Amino acid sequence: MDNVLNFKQGRTPLLISMPHAGLRLTPAVKAGLIPEAQSLPDTDWHIPLLYDFAEQLGASTLSAEYSRFVIDLNRPSDDTPLYAGATTGLYPKTLFDGVPLFVEGQEPSEEERATYLQKIWGPYHRALQEELARLKAEFGYALLFDAHSIRSVIPHLFDGKLPDFNLGTFNGAACDPELAGQLEAICARHTQYTHVLNGRFKGGHITRHYGNPAENIHAVQLELCQSTYMEEFEPFKYRADLAEPTRVVLKQLLEGLLGWGRKRYG
């Protein structure tokens, strides 16, 4: 399993993580998926494209190559559930709609999945950890932005339509509350969109595990409604007409992170 991630080192204290952007499948996973899953509907579609201005901001970027249907990089290695109720695990068993992901009896073996943990999950988290350590050593602090997107209506997972911008800081444990407040204020200025802080999505494993304000590492997850930048159903087309106004907000959020860091740490 070569090329399991894409990493570009930046020149500021900000790292953007994109753990669910991957599209590659292993042979065992591809062979076992139900027909409805072959198009990878639960992907965080087009996230690297949506954030392609990150290099201009000097941010480091880390994105996955393999699909979350192989292994979910935003889940702990011991597969402890992150949320009560319906959710998906380290090795997803269902689509977001609750339909079984694999044809019965054709799931990857335990041995196969142990390989995914070692060769896909492990390298991604090592890269994440090493870059955060580098940023903290160079700047005295690190900022982690975990970038996600999701279909705006998924009855199996949540009621009604999600807000457009879903910020998560693990109820304030992953980043300084002042920073979270500033990000909320940026969202509030853009009245064409709805937003929430620590609503249905409070931050997954990456936000919860790496965010540590006491150690000057501040982590925020954004779960973005896909209706703000793309067509939510197959063929999952990127819509530049929708995406450009959304990118304005995203850029302001990342600039807000960097500006807060400079003001706080000098």
pTM given for the model:
0.95
> Across all residues in the chain, what is the average pLDDT?
95
User: Would you call 142 helix, strand, or coil by DSSP?
Assistant: strand
Residue 82's pLDDT is: 66
- pLDDT tens-digit profile, the chain (266 residues): 679 999 999 999 999 999 999 999 999 999 999 999 999 999 999 999 999 999 999 999 999 999 999 999 999 998 776 655 546 789 999 999 899 999 999 999 999 999 999 999 999 999 999 999 999 999 999 999 999 999 999 988 888 999 999 999 999 999 999 999 999 999 999 999 999 999 999 999 999 999 999 999 999 999 999 999 999 999 999 999 999 999 999 999 999 999 999 999 98
pLDDT at 266: 86
Q: Which domains does the chain have, with CATH numbers?
A: 5-265 (3.40.630.40)
C-beta of residue 149 within 8 angstroms of C-beta of residue 223: yes
> In 144-159, which positions are buried (b, 16+ CB within 10 angstroms) versus exposed (e)?
bbbbbbbbbebeebbe
